[in-house]
Every structure is written in structure tokens, then in C-alpha cells.
Structure 1
């Protein structure tokens, strides 16, 4: 899980620093939006993580994205947007609606959607419309696919959702 820290650094640099130099109109409160996202994920805890230790899983965040490889600005933005989109998709399923408090879930979806929307123009500007400059995305999609398969394998149990919620929190924190 220590591998998530460099990804976060890339996301923070991308969203908070280098994006503004591109002339993008990201909200100045994007850091607050991130904090709000973490707060919502924390509030969503329904099961003690200690009760779910047997269900832990290493979802293997792609090493090539975070293991000392310096992402270009366009790649960092692409990775950030993909993480946000995939997280939004994960928490937008019917199974998620059944597992979480609906009010908190709607607030989380709204926060994630705001992040995705705010990053989109900056991604287009950074890549100049060239989507080929942004790939380590296949490995990241596989990472989220492993999360989806894990939930399905565990029949969307409360513990499975708690493990996934914790994983996503680590990815954002």
C-alpha cells in the first residue's frame, strides 16, 4: 500500500500545482474537495475493519505508475481523472446503493463528479487532444477490474465493501 503515496503525489502536483500553470480553471477549493471526499469515505464506514481482516486483498496498484516513474503532466492528469472516474463508477452501482447510506453515497458521487468535471478541460489542454500520451491507463483499468471482481467474488458483502472503501481511501489520502 506504500505504493499509493507516489500516485497521490502525482495527483496533487497535477491538480493543485501544474494545472494552474496550464491556465485551467480548476476550482481553488480542489484541495477542500479532496478533503471532503476523504471525510465522506470515512463517514461511510459501517463495519469495523478489524472484523474484515480475513477478507483483505492486495489489489496491486500498477507499479509502473507509481514506482519511481515520473509521470508527465498529461499522464498525471490522465491517471488522476481515471482514478476519479473509476471510483465514481464503482460507487454508482446498484450494489453500492444497497451497501451504503444513500445520502452519503449521493454526496460522494457528487464530489467525485465535480473532480472529474473540473479536471476534464485541463486534461484536454495538457494533451492537446492527443489521448495516446496518457497511457498507463490500461494497468489502472485492470486494477479497478480486480476490485470489481473481488466485490463480485465476495457477493458484495459488508466486509468486501469495507475493504474496498479502505483501499479507495488509501488511494486518495
Structure 2
């Protein structure tokens, strides 16, 4: 197991560009992992959404944070990392373990963990290059507030099946937005003058 973890970490580190080239490139494997995460979230559906219409809620997702057009690269990587970390934390709780299929939940956590490891390496490199640690706080703060509202909602609904279903759909929607941001980052890395 330790050898496998070491090999995975080596692959993640090797997939990042040299420190002097505006950070790491998001490899195609990151996109595949993101798509796989969306598929797993979709497969986790346990009840019909139509049964949960009364439980719908507007969590006020900070769409402007994942739009990407106004974000520097360090901010964009930080937003992606924060989103993945918050989703991982949400599905890591004891309450989520009781709510979802254990096999799918383990796969979801493993995929999120791999993506987080890669983004941590990228974030460190990009922050050094752009020297923008202070500029990162605002976007991640908005995401933390968003996920805090989700946690409060689950508590208020006593972690009901419908509450989890609404949250699953919300996470799929927000995660889908983050994959759009990943695509923008990949295309920025490929543009002339972006490295």
C-alpha cells in the first residue's frame, strides 16, 4: 500500500510542469477523475428527486468564483482545491456513511483524494510563482460559506434521505461548475504566452 501511494504521488508530481513555467498543467487524468466523480455522484442516487421537492433549497453557490474569467491561476487552483476539500469533508462524515452505498462512497472519496493531492502540489507551485497567497482568501471564503450553508441545511433536516438527495444534486451541480473551471485552466495553460 505504501509503495502504491508513493507511486501515485510520484505520478502526480511528474504531471506538474516545471516551477518556472507558471505552475503545473492540469493533466487529462484530472479531467477523467472529475468525470468519474460526477458519474459516481449520479450513481449514488437512492430516491427520486420528485419525492423531495419540498426540501429544495437555494444554497447560493458562488458561481462567480468558478467562472474563472476574473481569477488568476493561483486563485483558480485554490478555488478548485477548496471545492474538492469541502466535498470530500461532506462525504467523509459518519452521517454520510450511513446515508450512501458504502462501495460508491469509498470510490468517491478515493477519487476526490487523488484530485486533492494533485491540486495541493499545483497550488504550492502556483502560489510561489504568483506570490498571491493574500489574493486567494476571498474566493475560498465564499466557498466555505456555501458549504457551511449545506452543513446547516443537513442538520436542520436531521440528515433525512431527501436532504441528502438535495445535497447530492447540489454537489453535482457545483462540482460540474468546477470541472468547467478545470477546462479553462487547461486551455489557459495551452494558450500562447500563458506559460
Q: Which band: TM-score by shorter chain?
A: 0.7 to 0.9
Structure 1 runs of 4+ with >6 Å offset:
none
Q: Distance in 1 between matches of 2:44 and 2:143?
A: 24
CA RMSD of aligned residues (A): 2.0
Within the candidate set 132, 135, 142, 1:133 is matched to 135
Give the conservation status (yes or no) of the 8 Å contact 1:44–1:101: yes
Match of 2:147 in 1: 144
Q: 1:6-155 alignment to 2 at 5 Å?
A: 22-24=22-24, 26-62=26-62, 64-66=64-66, 70-128=70-128, 130-135=132-137, 136-155=139-158
Q: Could you list the runs of 5+ residues in structure 2 that have no partner in the other structure?
A: 1-15, 177-195
TM-score (norm 1): 0.82
Match of 2:9 in 1: none
Match of 2:173 in 1: 170
TM-score (norm 2): 0.74
Q: Distance in 2 between matches of 1:168 and 1:111?
A: 15
Give the conservation status (yes or no) of the 8 Å contact 2:24–2:126: no
Aligned residue pairs: how many? Answer: 155
Deviation, 1:63, is 5.1
1:77-131 deviation per Cα after TM superposition (whole angstroms, max 9, x unaligned):
0000000000000000000000001110010000001110011111111111753
CA 66–26 in structure 1, closer or farther in 2 if over 3 Å, else same: closer
Q: Could you list the runs of 5+ residues in structure 1 that have no partner in the other structure?
A: 1-18
